[in-house]
Structure 1
Amino acid sequence: MRGFFMSDEELGKKDDDHKSFKNGAGLRQPNWHPARVPPRRSLKRIGIVLFVAVLVYLFIKNIPVLGPNPQMHRPSYGGSELPTNADGRPAHNRNPSSLSRSKPRPAKNAPERTYNGPVRFLELAQTLHAISGTRGSMVTNRNVLFVASSLKSAAMLLPMACQMGVELRNYVHFALMSRSEIDIQELRKINGIDDSCQIIFHDARPDYAQISTDDRMENAVFRAFHHVFNYMHPQAILVDGSSDEEPFFLRGAQQHSNAKKNTLIELPRKATTRLMWLTKLDSQALRMWNKNHIDILIHAVPGASGSLIRLLRSLSDADYTSSSVPHLTIELPHDIDAPTKRFLESFAWPPAHVYNPTNARFLSLRHRIPHQRMSEEESSARFLESFWPAQPANSHILVLSPQAELSPDYFHYLKYSLLEYRYSAASTYQHWDRRLFGISLEQPLQLLDGKEALLLPSLLKSTTSGDKDEDEGETSTSFLWQAPTSGAMLFLGEKWMELHDFVSRSLEAKQSSEPVPELLTEKVVSTQYPSWLEHALRLARVRGYWTLYPGKDTAMNLATIHSELHSIPEEYVSQESSKPMLAEDASEEEIENIRQKIKTGLEIPLAPVSLLDSLPNDGNLRPFTDLPILSWNGQPAEVDTINHLATKYATEFKEKVGRCDTTSVEKQKAKENLSTQDLFCTTD
């Protein structure tokens, strides 16, 4: 500034006066002092500088806006500016939630969800790399994944995940794909999850989740599932399928499930009270959750409208939240009672309380045309033709008698038992499925001849509980019996197809043989049961199959077979059997005896309780190796005994029915899957 206000001559002179000399040398007068600027000139210069500075500030402050004001469309982030890169995009933050943790925001100042940038998962890689010990790189493993986006859904899923982890049958994982900023440790604490739950947690939230659009969050969910799938290969993914969960999350989960064909289990709202039994299944059983299907088949008989209506009402009142609604087929006789007609006109299937957005009907009514009474062969063929499994390994049939009545939890027990005894890792490894003919809902009290009572096996309480100090009484237990039943039994699809083939070849052998082999004419099964049950028993005896029956305490919560309105199967009706139970001139004593007989009929009354409460062993299904076994005639037996009896009966059947000579028996055709051709040498 000094140079700006001085002339050139003065500038040169002043510079000479102030010029420094090296090492202090040069001419210097002894009394010399530095020149000082007069005070008035200094104040003048300071004032000019301040004036110029004010002008510059006012000019910058009042620059006109030449375009749209960016403040009009810029989202507000609650007082903290979002760091940006040179290109104007939000800079990646190591901690996605740190923007708001420093200063809480009220709900009215919630950020606008407009960010749709690239997706990054800042916390997911660390936990995914740490689970190599679970063999997640293998397609088949023990990993089960629970996933939530909504904190309300997380509160529902975490207790189930904890219970499954305590069972120690699976590696249980929980992933959070949420907008929430909650810390994983805080989420665990709020829901009472500690280390005893054996849960592996994964933070699968993307960066800037709170300000992301729904499309970005949906894409983030899909990509998170993709990363988890590559590192974990979960056998089943469990999510909250109710309206409590975020829509973008369910869309992303369903899209990934469709792309990878993995098992996605969408749990209903009351899963913690209705479906806690699924926490006791292993990963291989859960993988088949959506891949198996059950159909229901009812063979109505004339004059039993009351029993049929009672059965259909109990079916409608049951809970089907564990699976898709089964298809229902009702075989009607030629003569339909008027009450049955009226009831079927208003009968809706699926029931009104079952979620059915397409309003599809899963009901088939089949009315018989011939009026004349059917023979045993015709009745068996017609009944078995009512169902054919499209996928033998995954399609099964529940056969119900009109005299049956079911509890609300019957379908849960069927699915629980089917997944455990047909699809679990233990079942596959020990080949339980090869011996399992079906699963019964009733506990029989008589042998199939209808004459003698069935002595039900039991177990010691000390054996079931492991407490030696407890009173060593006996408790009811599930058991394996070689004889099937027709009251309420689920037949596996593979065994049903094999039964089809067996009946077909047996009828052909019966027609082409003279005389008819005794094994095809003898009646082991009482005429109070349908004729097809005789064929089912023969197949079970020749193959060594067995049926799973529930214990008494469990059967009371599943089904009962009423005897007061029992009707003889049509193929066994005769003039003698159709006579009234009482003559017109019966005495009071005879009437009272019949009344008491009907009142105290052989049946187990229903006493519905929670499924897990009705099952022994804390709700865990016992392995086949721990269950008692009964031969077809009700005698206690071991596996070796069943094998010996089956081999003996098969040899006799091949010789007398299959017309196999000694040489053929010794060579023995190889058993084909779903076929009984090896039992018949005269048929192809």
Structure 2
Amino acid sequence: MGRAFLTADERAKKDDDLRAPGKGSGLPLFRSRLAPAAAVHRSRMVLKRLALVLGLAFLVYLFVHNLPTDVPVRPTRRPLYMPISEQGRQGQGHGASGQMPNLGTPGRKPDRGPTSGDGDGVPPLAAYNGPVKFERLAESLEAIHGGTGPSASNNRNVLFAAASLRSAALLLPLACRMGGERRNNVHFALLGGSGAAMDDLRAVNGINEGCEIAFHDGRPDMATKSSTKRLRQSTIRAIYHINEHMHPQALIVDASGSEEDYFLAGARQQTSVSGITLIELPENAHSRLGWITKLDSSSLAAWGKVNVEILIPAFSAVPGSLVHLLKSLSAADFSAGPTPHLTIELPHHVDRPTADFLKTFQWPPGRPSASSSPSQLTLRHRIPRARLTEEESSVRFLESFWPAVDPGYSHVLVLSPQVQVSTQFFHYVKYSILYYLYSDTTTTQMWDTRLLGISLDLPTTLLDDTASFSPPSAAKTKTTPFLWQAPNSNALLFTGAKWAELHALVSESIAYHERNQGALPKLFTDKLVAKTRPAWLEHALRLARARGYVALYPSTGSLVTVHTELYRAPEEYPGAGAGAGYNSELIAPATRNMLLESLALPSFEEMPLLAWDGRETAVEGLDKEAAAYTEEFRRAVGGCEKLREEEIKPRASMRDLFCLGEDD
């Protein structure tokens, strides 16, 4: 504040103090010399820093501008080696020096271009998307002969196809084995983007003239440089052209994880359009599905059409028995097809351990609780009855299933809660169904119309449980599969068509009982099946006797184990004892793969044929007895003696047995 009110003299003195010293003052001129020097120094520092920044920027520019462009992308996957079959390891397909042959086109180096991976069908970075052309496919397709042209839609052709060399190595041994069976015309097509030469592919996998395989090169031009989209389209077009020339009954591919995704996508798309059965083999198919090589083209064509469901009638199950069965089912191998739908018929009162187990039970096996895939499990609780009649019990059982699709392809496996299944049981079921119901030989001789079902159990007594039963033998020391007119209640797969007929027979029988309140004929009152077995088995036996049907029984008991200590009498026969049929020795469940020991299934003509009471017979004898039983049945229900023979024709509705006229 004092500085603000200085006098004039004081302000003049202050100004003189602030002036720079003049000449002759004797004081150095600090401000006049130092100020310009500091300004120069600062300017030089700015220039140096600017030059440094510009220099660094120039160096970065030169580095980026001159980066090399011809260095391939380093693969992150493990290196690919051409698979070698067992024949190749023994020397086939190798040169004199023992070195693996070059998989390029002979005489020149394969032109793969800059690839993005292992070169096994992987599209290049600079992908080619031009029109698809097949330069080598027409020659092999035009060489096909022997009634397999466009007009021969039903033939013996089976096609194996692959794009990945790994998958080709997995399929070729199976194709060779199938060709050796001489039941099919086996073809192999190499599709996709591989650059391997066909001759080298055959050599490195040990494929010689002994393998009955026709090879087709269905790769497009510029295969190794094609985009994924082009390779998928080429797969679709190749399968289309192959189908136009030979109509394969089945296309077999590898779905274990080694195959190219674009190939599988194209194969699935085109087979659905062309109506070709697609068989996708799982991991280790060579050992798990080796039996597929024994099937003919007609059986393979039915692969994707066959539907199997499992029914467990646990109406009177012993506590804990159902848990043992379900655990064995969860441990089974279902790689032979989709996991079957499972229906469990529970009693009204379920024991606590079983109820707790069912709370966390997942079906299909291994299905996470939060999985988006639908559950294949159906649980049913029945309302208790004070007294359950035979008819009511049979109705309850038969209402538990109905063929979801065509009865010719929809079947049901009935399992008693006192059994446990082996890990390989489903392979046997699928193998037997395809072999005995859909092969050309079976359908031509009409054996498929005789088959009531396929049993997994080997009984030890006859149906009346009063006499022991010994299966027939092909030799004194070797049992064989056989055909028996007697059905089984422990583990029996009913064919869909025969289940529908059994359903109709029970329906018509109940209707007959309601119409005739008087005394029933002796045919209905005399029981041939012991009361230790469920009531529906009596109706199944009547169906088999009237139509001449038989069930297929295995040569070994390793498919299922019957726990005799878990037996409980049926609800409709609460006072029935255990019976002789349930006194057999308990055998531990088998886990070995019985199919690997004996892959070949005998034909119907090669198997012994037994009547319902265990007597050996022939087809003629079976038909004669069926005709006599049918005549007796028709007389028993009344009215049939008034009809002419041509008016009584067997019908699936079973109304011909009850003489009720036409189906409508």
Determine which of 626, 635, 658 is the counterpart of 1:655. 635
Kindly provide the CA deviation profile for residues 252-280 of structure 1, in whole angstroms up to 9, marking residues without a partner as x.
Answer: 10110121121011111111110010110
Distance 1:502 1:193 in 2: 55
Kindly provide the CA deviation profile for residues 381-417 of structure 1, in whole angstroms up to 9, marking residues without a partner as x.
Answer: 0110011113211110100101111001100000100
SS at match of 1:195: coil
Alignment of 1:477 with 2:480, yes or no, is: yes
Distance 1:386 1:339 in 2: 24
**Contact in 1 for aligned 2:187/2:215 (Cα 8 Å):** yes
Structural mapping, 1:495-534, within 5 Å: 495-513=498-516, 514-534=518-538
Structural mapping, 1:216-295, within 5 Å: 216-295=230-309
> How many Å apart are 1:197 and its aligned residue?
1.2
> How many Å apart are 1:301 and its aligned residue?
3.1
Distance 1:664 1:532 in 2: 30
**Contact in 1 for aligned 2:532/2:569 (Cα 8 Å):** yes
Please say which of residues 177-186 and 448-457 is displaced more in the overlay. Answer: 177-186
- Residue identity matched to 1:402: P
Q: Which residue of 1 aligns with 2:431?
A: 416
Distance 1:568 1:648 in 2: 33
> How many Å apart are 1:663 and its aligned residue?
2.9
The TM-score normalised by the length of structure 1 is 0.78
> How many Å apart are 1:72 and its aligned residue?
12
Determine which of 394, 397, 400 is the counterpart of 2:412. 397
> How many Å apart are 1:667 and its aligned residue?
4.4
- Residue identity matched to 2:485: Q
SS at match of 2:268: helix
Distance 1:598 1:479 in 2: 19
SS at match of 2:225: coil
Distance 1:379 1:261 in 2: 42
**Contact in 1 for aligned 2:112/2:224 (Cα 8 Å):** no
Determine which of 562, 581, 584 is the counterpart of 1:601. 584
Distance 1:286 1:573 in 2: 46
Determine which of 471, 474, 481 is the counterpart of 1:456. 471
Distance 2:533 2:174 in 1: 43
SS at match of 2:572: helix
Identity rate of aligned residues, in percent?
46
For structure 2, the 5+ residue unaligned runs are 1-65, 74-103
> How many Å apart are 1:512 and its aligned residue?
2.1
Structural mapping, 1:361-380, within 5 Å: 361-380=375-394
Kindly provide the CA deviation profile for residues 36-79 of structure 1, in whole angstroms up to 9, marking residues without a partner as x.
Answer: xxxxxxxxxxxxxxxxxxxxxxxxxxxxxxxxxxx99999999x
Alignment of 1:566 with 2:567, yes or no, is: yes
- Residue identity matched to 2:442: S
Q: Which residue of 1 aligns with 2:354?
A: 340
Structural mapping, 1:513-662, within 5 Å: 513=516, 514-552=518-556, 555-556=557-558, 558-574=559-575, 577=576, 601-602=584-585, 605-615=588-598, 619-657=599-637, 659-662=638-641
Judged with a 3 Å threshold, the aligned counterparts in structure 2 of structure 1 residues 353 and 168 are, in CA distance, closer, same or farther, namely farther
SS at match of 1:196: coil
> How many Å apart are 1:608 and its aligned residue?
2.6
> How many Å apart are 1:336 and its aligned residue?
1.1
Determine which of 401, 418, 426 is the counterpart of 2:441. 426
> How many Å apart are 1:185 and its aligned residue?
1.3
> How many Å apart are 1:133 and its aligned residue?
2.4
Alignment of 1:118 with 2:109, yes or no, is: no
Judged with a 3 Å threshold, the aligned counterparts in structure 2 of structure 1 residues 499 and 413 are, in CA distance, closer, same or farther, namely same
- Residue identity matched to 1:500: H
Distance 2:171 2:529 in 1: 49
Distance 1:281 1:430 in 2: 17
- Residue identity matched to 1:648: A
> How many Å apart are 1:602 and its aligned residue?
4.5
Kindly provide the CA deviation profile for residues 267-299 of structure 1, in whole angstroms up to 9, marking residues without a partner as x.
Answer: 111111100101100000000000010011111
Kindly provide the CA deviation profile for residues 642-676 of structure 1, in whole angstroms up to 9, marking residues without a partner as x.
Answer: 0111011000000002x13423264442222x221
> How many Å apart are 1:598 and its aligned residue?
12
- Residue identity matched to 1:419: L
Distance 2:465 2:191 in 1: 60
**Contact in 1 for aligned 2:72/2:114 (Cα 8 Å):** no
Distance 1:250 1:103 in 2: 25
Q: Which residue of 2 aligns with 1:678?
A: 656
Determine which of 630, 645, 648 is the counterpart of 1:669. 648
**Contact in 2 for aligned 1:134/1:142 (Cα 8 Å):** no
Distance 1:510 1:682 in 2: 14
For structure 1, the 5+ residue unaligned runs are 1-70, 79-95, 461-472, 582-593
**Contact in 2 for aligned 1:564/1:601 (Cα 8 Å):** no
- Residue identity matched to 2:505: F
Please say which of residues 508-517 and 280-289 is displaced more in the overlay. Answer: 508-517
Judged with a 3 Å threshold, the aligned counterparts in structure 2 of structure 1 residues 345 and 493 are, in CA distance, closer, same or farther, namely same
> How many Å apart are 1:428 and its aligned residue?
1.1
Structural mapping, 1:323-334, within 5 Å: 323-334=337-348
Distance 1:185 1:623 in 2: 38
> How many Å apart are 1:515 and its aligned residue?
1.5
SS at match of 1:133: coil
> How many Å apart are 1:316 and its aligned residue?
0.6
> How many Å apart are 1:611 and its aligned residue?
3.1
- Residue identity matched to 1:662: E
Distance 1:485 1:108 in 2: 59
SS at match of 2:222: coil
Distance 1:233 1:643 in 2: 39
**Contact in 2 for aligned 1:334/1:371 (Cα 8 Å):** no
Please say which of residues 295-304 and 336-345 is displaced more in the overlay. Answer: 295-304
Q: What's the RMSD between the two structures over aligned residues?
A: 2.8
Distance 2:370 2:466 in 1: 46
Distance 2:67 2:148 in 1: 53
**Contact in 1 for aligned 2:161/2:189 (Cα 8 Å):** yes
Judged with a 3 Å threshold, the aligned counterparts in structure 2 of structure 1 residues 380 and 179 are, in CA distance, closer, same or farther, namely same
